[in-house]
């Protein structure tokens, strides 16, 4: 009987600690710094962005579909739109539509790179209410493919530099502006720029690129919009699975065709997700955002060590962004068999698109598959 009371007492204490920790799990306060007013020609900045948006710089994996003149049109506009940048900075065109500016600072020790891309993904015009390249402003909204992704960034960087140069500003350290014209198709522009820096043995102090956004209803239990700072991108890898057979007519098949065998592999991999690995930045994000969550989730995030398994399970069951933050993900995207419905394929293939957790490498992921 006494043992029962002791156990009951311990359970009560355990529950009390968990609940108290959840109750004390409140948002951290951060000092708010006053922002400095910035003076620049807003009208001109918007007009420049409109001009960039009007260039149909759509990139395709099949280069014959691309309109090179539109890319040249955009590049040709830059000296007009940002004359001060062109007066003071050096400008290099590297292969695969990469553009590189250098704004010299008083020191060359800790150079920074500001990045953006000026190509855009193809448009399904029927789904647009306006011409996707009109660059029109309606009710305070600028319409156009690529406005956010990421011509606004390119324009912001160049407008800021143009404005500062016109005021006689000289940066403390060198600043590079690096723009890719093939980001959406994994083009080689960005890696050509990396090579350029490596050849010159330039060590960068800071690189700022597209990444993150304001998201809602992504983090469990948090309703407020969250500004998410992207500090890295998961690695990407495509795995191609192939099964061969002797083919033949479908009238007298073996128990399993190559398609059946691939399906089994697909089911097995979907049923067995990669192990969870919470990186340090992810843990810090849980600690920050978890404090803004509902009490139920606070219980989990305030007692992360104890409830890690619950999060693992939730991720596996629900998928989505949180799960993608926790592990290497596998998405089966393509499958190909024979050309006719009544022919057993001599070869069938299946493609999975993997996004690698920092814990994984191409080799370790391949080994697990």
What minimum distance in Å lies between the beta carbon of 132 and Zn ion? 16
Q: Which stretch binds Zn ion (CB under 5 A): 26-34, 70-78, 208-216, 269-277?
A: 208-216
User: Residue 84 or residue 149: which is nearer to Zn ion going by CB?
Assistant: 149
User: Residue 104 or residue 149: which is nearer to Zn ion going by CB?
Assistant: 149
User: Residue 213 or residue 273: which is nearer to Zn ion going by CB?
Assistant: 213
What minimum distance in Å lies between the beta carbon of 210 and Zn ion? 5
Quote the tokens at residue 102.
């250098």
Q: Which stretch binds Zn ion (CB under 5 A): 156-164, 165-173, 210-218, 318-326?
A: 210-218
Q: Which stretch binds Zn ion (CB under 5 A): 8-16, 69-77, 203-211, 249-257?
A: 203-211
What minimum distance in Å lies between the beta carbon of 191 and Zn ion? 16
User: Residue 150 or residue 155: which is nearer to Zn ion going by CB?
Assistant: 150
Q: H or E element: which one contains 329?
A: strand 329-336
- The CA radius of gyration of the chain, in Å to the nearest whole number, is 27
Q: Which stretch binds Zn ion (CB under 5 A): 23-31, 140-148, 206-214, 287-295?
A: 206-214
What minimum distance in Å lies between the beta carbon of 327 and Zn ion? 24
Contacts of 41 (CB under 8 A, 6+ apart): 163
What minimum distance in Å lies between the beta carbon of 183 and Zn ion? 6
Q: Which stretch binds Zn ion (CB under 5 A): 67-75, 202-210, 243-251, 318-326?
A: 202-210
What minimum distance in Å lies between the beta carbon of 217 and Zn ion? 22
In angstroms, the Cα distances linking 363 to 239, 295, 330, 331, 360 are: 11, 41, 15, 18, 8
Quote the tokens at residue 68.
């090179």
Cα separation, 218 vs 289, in Å, equals: 11
Secondary structure (DSSP) of 52-86:
HHTS--B--SSGGGS-HHHHHHHHHHHHHH-HHHH
Q: Of residues 132-191, which lie at the interface with Zn ion (CB under 5 A)?
A: 149-150
User: Residue 104 or residue 210: which is nearer to Zn ion going by CB?
Assistant: 210
User: Residue 150 or residue 257: which is nearer to Zn ion going by CB?
Assistant: 150
Cα separation, 135 vs 129, in Å, equals: 13
Tell me which residue has its CB nearest to Zn ion.
149
What minimum distance in Å lies between the beta carbon of 145 and Zn ion? 11
Cα separation, 147 vs 143, in Å, equals: 7
User: Residue 149 or residue 336: which is nearer to Zn ion going by CB?
Assistant: 149
ω into 233 cis (within 30 of 0): no
Q: Give the number of residues in contact with Zn ion, rule: CB under 5 A.
A: 3
209 binds Zn ion (CB under 5 A): no
User: Residue 101 or residue 179: which is nearer to Zn ion going by CB?
Assistant: 179
Secondary structure (DSSP) of 206-270:
EEE-S-EEEESS-STT--S-EEEEP----EEEEEEEEEE----BTTS--S--HHHHHHHHHHHHH
What minimum distance in Å lies between the beta carbon of 323 and Zn ion? 23
Measured CA angle at 72 (ends 66, 73), to 5 deg: 105
126: DSSP letter:
G
What minimum distance in Å lies between the beta carbon of 79 and Zn ion? 24
Q: Which stretch binds Zn ion (CB under 5 A): 127-135, 207-215, 221-229, 277-285?
A: 207-215
User: Residue 102 or residue 145: which is nearer to Zn ion going by CB?
Assistant: 145
User: Residue 148 or residue 296: which is nearer to Zn ion going by CB?
Assistant: 148
- What separation, in Å, do the N-terminal and C-terminal C-alpha atoms of the chain show? 52
Q: Enumerate long-range contacts of 190-198, CB under 8 Å, 24 or more apart.
A: 190/98, 190/115, 192/94, 192/95, 192/96, 192/98, 193/94, 193/98, 193/100, 196/92, 196/94, 196/100
What minimum distance in Å lies between the beta carbon of 344 and Zn ion? 42
SS3 of 138, please? strand
x/- letters, 96..135, toward Zn ion (CB under 5 A): ----------------------------------------
Residues that bind Zn ion (CB under 5 A): 149-150, 210
């Amino acid at each position: 009987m006494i043992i029962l009371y002791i156990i009951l007492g311990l359970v009560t204490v355990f529950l009390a600690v968990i609940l108290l920790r959840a109750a004390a799990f409140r948002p951290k306060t951060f000092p708010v710094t006053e922002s400095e007013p910035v003076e620049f020609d807003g009208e001109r900045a918007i007009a420049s962005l409109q001009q960039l948006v009007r260039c149909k710089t759509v990139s395709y994996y099949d280069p014959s579909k691309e309109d090179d003149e539109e890319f040249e049109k955009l590049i040709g506009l830059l000296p007009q739109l940002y004359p001060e940048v062109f007066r003071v900075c050096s400008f290099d065109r590297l292969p695969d539509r990469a553009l590189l500016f250098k704004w010299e600072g008083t020191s060359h020790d800790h150079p920074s790179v500001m990045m953006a891309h000026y190509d855009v993904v193809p448009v399904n015009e029927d789904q647009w209410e306006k011409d996707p390249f009109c660059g029109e402003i309606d009710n305070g909204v600028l319409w156009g493919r690529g406005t956010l992704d990421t011509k606004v960034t390119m324009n912001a960087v160049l407008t800021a530099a143009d404005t500062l140069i016109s005021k006689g500003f000289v940066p403390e350290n060198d600043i590079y502006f690096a723009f890719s014209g093939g980001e959406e198709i994994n083009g080689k522009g960005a890696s050509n720029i990396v090579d350029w820096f490596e050849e010159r043995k330039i060590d960068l102090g800071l690189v700022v690129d597209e990444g993150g956004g304001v998201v809602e209803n992504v983090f469990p239990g948090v309703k407020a919009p969250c500004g998410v700072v992207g500090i890295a991108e998961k690695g990407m890898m495509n795995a191609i699975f192939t099964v061969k057979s002797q083919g033949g007519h479908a009238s007298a098949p073996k128990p399993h065709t190559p398609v059946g065998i691939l399906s089994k592999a697909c089911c097995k991999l979907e049923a067995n997700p990669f192990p969870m690995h919470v990186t340090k930045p992810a843990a810090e994000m849980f600690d920050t955002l978890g404090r803004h969550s509902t009490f139920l989730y606070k219980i989990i995030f305030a007692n992360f060590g104890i409830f890690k398994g619950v999060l693992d399970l939730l991720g596996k069951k629900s998928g989505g962004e949180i799960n993608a933050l926790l592990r290497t993900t596998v998405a089966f995207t393509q499958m190909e068999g024979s050309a006719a419905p009544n022919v057993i394929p001599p070869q069938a293939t299946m493609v999975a698109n993997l996004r690698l957790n920092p814990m994984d490498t191409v080799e370790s992921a391949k080994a697990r598959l």
